Amino acid sequence: DQGVAKISATVVVELCNRRAMELLDLPAELMASKPTLVNVLAYLRARGEFQGASQEVLDLLRHSNGGVDQPQVYDRPRPDGRILEVQTVPIKGGGALRTFTDVTQRKQAEQQIRHVAEHDGLTGLLNRTAFSQALQAAATDVHRSGRGFAVLYVDLDGFKRVNDTLGHDAGDFVLQTVGRRMQEAVRSCDTVARIGGDEFIAYLGQLSDEQEAVVVAERILRACNQP
């Protein structure tokens, strides 16, 4: 299941197995000619292979030896949506062994687990723990950006009566609707969370003054007061 390439001390791709060619969409003719790693990277770059790569990976691949002189492991998204784990193991005397593993399913599973851990199961909003972490990061960023932020605490009056008279399904519908309306009322740079029961909270970032927060707060109230 693993793609393997052997790169010589002179940075020539001496061996590239079938799986590696499949994962990277490399033509057999090119690899049979024993090209330099620079030529292989140029071929891939021309096909948009590295459009989703991080700046760190791009800097690594720009080196004349393609980064084969040091051990490394990194994830690289491909244009087709798959994610490859690329590992480089230097060989004594020069050159390296580079492996390519399709970790798309594993990453999707990790992302799903992370989403469940960070979001409220009913409304899909951030939960209390994730919001607290986001707020700490935002507070730290304030010192760097010099712009203020606000936190809005939103509590639903009379919510218990909804559950008592109409049932919990109706109560769930109310909470989902309020969460959706709050998200629609805030700006793209803001974050909304449900922190428990009928309690919601919103982080408003990049504020110049208090009045900007008041405007968003009033917009939330208008949205939630609709039938």
Catalytic residues: 198
* CA separation for the pair 17, 22 (Å, rounded): 9
Q: Are 4 and 97 contacting, i.e. CB atoms less than 8 angstroms apart?
A: yes
Q: Mutual orientation of helices 168-185 and 159-166 as an angle, nearest 10°? A: 140
Q: Are 54 and 83 contacting, i.e. CB atoms less than 8 angstroms apart?
A: no
* Strand blocks (E) in 52-161: 72-77, 83-90, 96-102, 148-155
The burial class, CB within 10 Å (0-12 / 13-18 / 19+), for 39 is middle
Q: Are 204 and 187 contacting, i.e. CB atoms less than 8 angstroms apart?
A: yes
